[in-house]
Structure 1
Amino acid sequence: MLTLEEVRVLGNIANTTWGRSSTTKVPTMSLKCEIIGDSALKVSYVTLVTFASDRAMSQQMPALENDAVQVTGKYLAEIKKEFKAEIGHALKAKVKNTVPSVEIVSLQPHISPKRTAYYRHVTFVELG
């Protein structure tokens, strides 16, 4: 469990809603971090993708998941680095669960097999 001061510092680092840019510099991708209680983080990665067909969708899923894991890992490393600089000791964080999902937002099978979708990858991290 984190102390109140550690939660405050972590909240300031993870805050992307007030006084800071709310998205990364990539216009088709977003990372959000939510503190759950005093012992967990929920990191949500969302990107907009286009699939040429159902088959292309199934073929691209491993690459999308790999990208999400890499981006989330870099984001968590940056949070740990800032936390250590602010508090003076390392933040212990262990990935407990990941939940990938796809939401089709544009589909017109009678015109084109192309699909536009949101790819979401939610990572739950246990803090110690």
Structure 2
Amino acid sequence: MMNGARDAAEPAAVWERPWSLEEIRKGSQSWSLASDAGLLRFLQEFSQQTISRTHEIKKQVDGLISETKAADCRLHNVFNDFLMLSNTQFIENRVYDEEVEEPIPKADVGDKTEQVVNLSFHEYLLL
């Protein structure tokens, strides 16, 4: 019992735990079998984290695929509803021209009086 408590208090040996990147850099000048063991544990831990993150991303992508298929199904249902409605009721397809407003050029004061005179003369001719 005492031995287990002492083991928990003592840090793990260098070869029994994954090394950090900093430890790998520092130990690169004096590489040993313990360094290999630490590197192996680091790579195993990194691999495990990568695999678990990949599984999480796969679940998210699967969820997006399901949502996309559901949206596609709803869209096709709307198309079918319109087709069924067109069998019993006339549906007019309208196409409207875009209303393009042309900017009115600003005229001088002299041009305005000329326009008024021309407009009056034009109205006189129409009568």
TM-score (norm 1): 0.27
Highest RCO, 1 vs 2 (Cα 8 Å, sep ≥ 6):
1
Structure in which a larger fraction of residues adopt helix: 2
Structure in which a larger fraction of residues adopt strand: 1
TM-score (norm 2): 0.27
